[in-house]
């Protein structure tokens, strides 16, 4: 039976994998320890930011308390990156089976999607990865783990499960939760979010995704490839409005090939249930329509978890929409208390949560002055093809009056992409005009997430395209596209004057 379940611990079925995961991230026999007299660092929230900070601080000798109200590992492990990537892998396999002819292979007869089996694989993977986040590892690392609701009682203390935890420094790493759109009838009809969609035990026949954000796109493509009729309805008039238009164009075509129906500039205005199906009224400009689906998944953004902790008592300013207010050093309005991850950041990614937590450990415990703004943050939407980005977009560079030039290599010019039958996409590297300084890059490719790391490395290390052109890339690889972009830059250095000099030199 499908129903709205916003408690990730209610995952069904309770198989061995789930027992292993819960044994790692929320053991039923757990008893909170007696708090120490004080802690160097009290961490509220044990998602990515909280776990990274707790482990890093403990490894450096700090006394650390970690408080979690639900599951260790947070969204990423339990209801985000890990389970979604696991099912995306299976969905790619099904897509490749159906298009096997393109690879000179035979399409298997009777391709049957075994949804329970692929979800079981997802749970097995999630359980395995949960070992790294387990309460036992935290204990071994010397971290005191408390399960329960944290409430600040002042600027240097909080309570959890009736016990008082005193701290010299604290970190708020409470993450975010799905924002639920206020659509009449939605709650009554029932809906899923990214937190509950992984609880499905049967493949819905028809799904409507409300909101066309990255996670919604990833899941929509996966469910479509499992055989569900999938519709995405989003308010914004442009598909993936934050991405470069060409990237969105390529993905839009890929979605159309898969059979996903994308309805842009469209609002869901009413939901009702008739004959066991959900009827959703959609409005686009002056055009109204109704779609009948079995499951609605909302993905209209995420809101930070900032209430219920009595942050007022700690003197920590926050906003229910943008989260805990922090300065560039991730310090809140109470200088002893810091924040990291989704609770305070605009870019709500696991790797940003990780990086911000490391900044907090340095700044809070070791007088560090590391700045959030100094980070170079890549991100990737793991659709097929994937879209990865780092640094500035052309639009933002031009808005800052930075002259920018883009070196573009379509993947159809890359031998390995041709051999792999993965020619959809491009590498675009944006440089400051008349220099080789990389301002940013966008990659659309099957493995864009892996490829973007080379550009991030170059940007952080201050390596320009001129040097990248000297890096020997193993042949044939798809990452050779980056080398080709660097070669294209080098060719622009051959100005007519230099070409003329070269000709004269070679004429001797």
Interacting residue ranges for other proteins, rule: CB under 8 A? 237-238, 244-246, 249-250, 253, 256-257, 265, 285-286, 394-395, 398-399, 403-408, 410, 412-413, 423, 426, 428, 433, 488-489, 491-492
Burial class (CB in 10 A: 0-12, 13-18, 19+), 265: middle
DSSP annotation of 106: P
**Minimum CB–partner distance for residue 413 and other proteins (Å):** 7
**Minimum CB–partner distance for residue 266 and other proteins (Å):** 11
**Minimum CB–partner distance for residue 464 and other proteins (Å):** 15
**Minimum CB–partner distance for residue 106 and other proteins (Å):** 16
Whether residue 476 is preceded by a cis peptide bond, meaning omega within 30 degrees of 0, is: yes
Residue (156 or 424) nearer to other proteins, CB:
424
Please give the C-alpha separations between residue 139 and each of 49, 143, 407, in angstroms, as whole numbers.
Answer: 17, 5, 50
Residue (124 or 283) nearer to other proteins, CB:
283
Q: Is there a contact between 411 and 422 (Cβ–Cβ < 8 Å)?
A: yes
Element (H, E) at 216: helix 214-226
- Which residue in this structure is represented by tokens 């707790």? 54
Burial class (CB in 10 A: 0-12, 13-18, 19+), 188: exposed
Residue (154 or 237) nearer to other proteins, CB:
237
- Residue 44 CA to residue 360 CA, distance in Å, equals 13
Residue (221 or 352) nearer to other proteins, CB:
221
**Minimum CB–partner distance for residue 417 and other proteins (Å):** 10
Phi, psi of 145 (to 5 degrees): -105, 130
**Minimum CB–partner distance for residue 409 and other proteins (Å):** 8
How many CB atoms are closer than 10 A to CB 334? Answer: 18
Residue (32 or 408) nearer to other proteins, CB:
408
Residue (96 or 161) nearer to other proteins, CB:
96
**Minimum CB–partner distance for residue 483 and other proteins (Å):** 15
- Residue 482 CA to residue 489 CA, distance in Å, equals 11
Residue (191 or 489) nearer to other proteins, CB:
489
Phi, psi of 273 (to 5 degrees): -110, 130
Q: Is there a contact between 150 and 164 (Cβ–Cβ < 8 Å)?
A: no
**Minimum CB–partner distance for residue 103 and other proteins (Å):** 14
Residue (165 or 392) nearer to other proteins, CB:
392
């Amino acid at each position: 039976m499908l129903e709205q379940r916003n408690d990730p611990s209610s995952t069904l079925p309770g198989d061995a994998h789930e027992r292993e995961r819960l044994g790692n991230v929320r053991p039923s026999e757990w008893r909170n320890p007696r708090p120490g007299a004080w802690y160097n660092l009290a961490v509220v929230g044990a998602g990515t930011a909280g776990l990274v900070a707790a482990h890093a601080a403990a490894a450096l000798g700090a006394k650390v308390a970690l408080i979690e109200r639900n599951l260790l590992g947070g969204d990423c492990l339990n209801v985000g990156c890990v389970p979604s990537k696991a099912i995306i892998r299976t969905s790619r396999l099904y897509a490749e089976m159906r298009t096997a002819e393109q690879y000179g292979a035979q399409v298997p007869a009777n391709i049957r999607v075994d949804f329970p089996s692929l979800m079981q694989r997802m749970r097995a993977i999630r359980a395995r990865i949960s070992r790294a986040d387990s309460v036992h590892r935290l204990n071994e690392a010397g971290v005191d783990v408390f399960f329960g609701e944290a409430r600040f009682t002042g600027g240097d203390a909080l309570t959890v499960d009736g016990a008082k935890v005193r701290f010299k420094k604290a970190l708020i790493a409470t993450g975010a939760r799905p924002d639920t759109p206020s659509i009449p009838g939605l709650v009554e009809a029932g809906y899923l979010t990214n937190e509950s969609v992984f609880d499905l035990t049967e493949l819905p026949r028809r799904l409507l995704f409300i909101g066309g954000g990255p996670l919604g796109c990833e899941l929509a493509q996966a469910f479509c490839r499992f055989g569900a009729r999938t519709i995405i309805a989003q308010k914004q008039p442009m598909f993936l409005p934050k991405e470069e238009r060409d990237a969105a164009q390529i993905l839009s075509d890929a979605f159309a090939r898969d059979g996903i129906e994308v309805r842009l500039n469209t609002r869901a205005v009413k939901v009702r249930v008739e004959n066991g199906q959900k009827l959703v009224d959609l409005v686009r400009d002056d055009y109204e329509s109704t779609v009948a689906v079995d499951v609605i998944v909302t993905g209209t953004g995420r809101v930070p978890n900032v209430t219920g902790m009595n942050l007022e008592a700690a003197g920590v300013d926050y906003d229910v929409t943008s989260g805990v207010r922090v300065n560039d050093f991730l310090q809140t309005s109470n200088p002893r208390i810091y924040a990291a991850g989704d609770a305070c950041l605009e870019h709500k990614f696991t790797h940003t949560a990780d990086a911000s937590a490391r900044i907090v450990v340095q700044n809070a415990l070791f007088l560090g002055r590391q700045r959030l703004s100094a980070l170079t943050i890549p991100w990737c939407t793991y659709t097929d093809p994937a879209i990865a980005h780092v640094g500035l977009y052309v639009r933002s560079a031009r808005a800052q009056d930075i002259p920018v030039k883009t070196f573009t290599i379509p993947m159809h010019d890359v031998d390995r992409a041709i051999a792999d039958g993965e020619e959809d996409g491009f590498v675009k590297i944006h440089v400051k005009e008349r220099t080789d300084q990389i301002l940013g890059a966008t990659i659309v490719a099957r493995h864009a997430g892996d490829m973007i790391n080379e550009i991030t490395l170059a940007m952080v290390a201050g390596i320009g395209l001129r040097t990248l052109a000297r890096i020997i890339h193993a042949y044939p690889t798809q990452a050779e596209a980056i080398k080709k972009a660097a070669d294209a830059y080098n060719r622009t250095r051959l100005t007519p004057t230099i070409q003329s000099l070269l000709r004269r030199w070679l004429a001797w």
